[in-house]
Homo-oligomer: A and B are copies of this chain.
């Protein structure tokens, strides 16, 4: 079981909506839509997908990382935090 398991349906719903937005951009390009309008849609997708990422991250820290801390395993907890930090870094730089 993962930290996000309880909200799985919500995440799947959001991702299906993002999938639809990506298809929407294909349609826009296929119909020669105005570049700036395509870019506005791209920013919306980037925001939506990074929100999913931030939500997953929060659940991850609340569950996987905290569990290590609760078990008193400091070494494991620090390692989990370091791993999550690298994921944040990739998110910030992407």
Contacts and interface: CB of A to CB of B under 8 A. Distances in A.
> For the complex formed by this chain, how many copies does it contain in all?
4
Nearest to A5: B32
A66 B72 CA distance: 10
A14 to B, nearest CB: 10
Interface residues of A, number: 66
B26 A19 contact: yes
A93 B94 contact: yes
Interface in A4-52: 4-5, 8, 11-12, 15-16, 18-19, 22-23, 25-26, 29-30, 32-36, 38-40, 42-47, 49-50, 52
Interface of A: 1-5, 8, 11-12, 15-16, 18-19, 22-23, 25-26, 29-30, 32-36, 38-40, 42-47, 49-50, 52-54, 56-62, 64-66, 69-70, 72, 74, 77-78, 81-85, 87-94
